[in-house]
A and B are shown apart, each in its own frame.
Chain A
């Protein structure tokens, strides 16, 4: 585990582009953490005298139908979007890894049942199921995460299982077994460190996509609910004013685009850094 981390820290010094992207990611994370202090106005407080104002010095990106400051809402939205996305990626990686390691290491019936289940999820367009799950359960931050978790874990489980099967019968594992090392320790100390880099790479590369899927569900009304300042939801609300107040749909979308771009660049360069086998 510390190996992966060490590799990343090392890469910050040797790979200039990776360092630049990491700095950008750090900037977004800081923005998310300190969003409440950085937003010039209260993102939740309406001002009915100033509804649907065009962008101006007082309201850089205009105001929405309740007179709330769009810029402040976008800044506050960084926190919501990033928090949801990171929770989702982390959950998906953990669930996928556990299922993958268990089925890869123990094999047999457990493996067959779990992998059958994973194949079932993979043999179906995930977005459709996520829409159905989130929609039926009712829109909320938690339900959105659950819906996307339900469709995304299978890919990770398959990946991790294939990695575990590859090292399952290597000498160092067999030696540990012969030594009488506890199964828990074998999984934790010998198997996990070997699959972790790939999981981290895949997770990092998926952050952008997952952020877009979360925003997409919110856009449909099956994600975060008003008055949460979530980008997808803001786009949904802004959509009704496309004729009179186009800034309401331009800027939240631009925010998603920008942040997704940064995370995609970072994810790609992380892969290049940690996994030199690929060209």
Chain B
């Protein structure tokens, strides 16, 4: 329990720090959000109107007051109003999150489908041609800029073959395939190495030797003995790669015009829509930390040894 509170406190500190940093930047940045808001209307802006709008938006307040106000709002679940969309930030974030979470979920499925069999195949045939093939493929995958890969897939499967839409204005099952595949290829290139290492570690354990000595078939050893044991580290590594996914998703969403949170954030930054950018940074930070915490918890839950020590430790 003590650990839980400590963890929670650390999370709060991180959230404060990251949002404060973004806030500082938005104040230092060139460009006047009030002017951006007014100029969007396409008429000539008078100095008085500008001052009035600044006042309405609270931009004439001292910096710390602005940040304090924002924090106060967040504590009440109010993330402010998006300048560009004239909608509550929370609403915009929810709109974008549906798309991004769907994309992330499909990506993780693709990634597991690609990397688990390849990683196991490579480990079982260590230092023979399947292993070399997978390793070379993985190397190419990590060296390839994913936005370039995305453009190529878009060109080949979207434009030339016409199999998938080239832009998605809404979240559709057909539209998600190419962006998810792009992200999954890059993610798999990293994950497949980790799968290989984990399986190799298990292959050399005593219980595998024991099982072989008892004449249990290789296939049975792999599926019933090694895989369950490899599951734990694989889940942790998967959790870590989801964090990367949340960061890398923005570029790919832009490439495929996918209606997700990353695409929205890039537009928000271009429009100097700072409340939306702030909200985005805060939201991503929370999601990322919750996923990490869940991974930690699942680890403790899935490993009976850890569960026992946790049970004992729970008393103090």
Contact = CB atoms under 8 A, between A and B. Distances in A.
Note whether A and B form a binding pair. yes
A249 B155 contact: yes
Contact of A256 (B18, B29, B145): B145
Interface stretch (A87-95, A119-127, A187-195): A119-127
Q: Tell which of A125, A137, A250 has the most Cβ of chain B within 10 Å.
A: A125
Contact of A219 (B22, B142, B251, B284): B251
A21 to B, nearest CB: 13
A264 B143 contact: yes
A239 B28 CA distance: 31
A198 to B, nearest CB: 20
Contacts of A216: 145, 147, 251
B145 A212 contact: yes
Given A253-B145, A257-B143, A261-B143, A128 B269 contact: no
Interface in B124-176: 139-140, 142-145, 147-148, 151-152, 154-155, 159
Interface in A118-149: 119-120, 123-129, 131-133, 135-138
- Chain B interface size band reads 35 or more
A156 B255 CA distance: 31
A105 interface: no
A15 interface: no
A222 interface: yes
- Chain A interface size band reads 35 or more
Contact of B285 (A124, A256, A260, A265): A124
B243 interface: yes
B145 A215 contact: yes
A220 B254 contact: yes
Contacts of A175: none
A249 B250 contact: no
B250 A220 contact: yes
Contact of A123 (B14, B251, B265): B14
B49 interface: no
Contacts of A131: 250, 265-266, 269
A112 interface: no
Q: Tell which of A124, A221, A256 has the most Cβ of chain B within 10 Å.
A: A124
B14 A235 contact: no
Nearest to A261: B143
B147 A235 contact: yes
Interface string A253-279: 110110011001100000000000000
Interface in B55-113: none
A242 B151 contact: yes
Given A123-B14, A132-B22, A216-B147, A264 B142 contact: yes
B244 A125 contact: yes
A243 interface: yes
B17 A208 contact: no
Contact of A249 (B18, B21, B22, B151): B151
Interface of A: 116-117, 119-120, 123-129, 131-133, 135-138, 208, 212, 215-216, 219-222, 232, 235, 239, 242-243, 246, 249-250, 253-254, 256-257, 260-261, 264-265
Interface of B: 10-11, 13-14, 17-18, 21-22, 25-26, 28-31, 139-140, 142-145, 147-148, 151-152, 154-155, 159, 243-244, 246-248, 250-251, 254-255, 265-266, 269-270, 274, 277, 280-281, 284-285, 288-289, 292
Given A125-B243, A132-B269, 6 more contacts: A132-B277, A136-B274, A220-B266, A222-B269, A242-B154, A260-B143
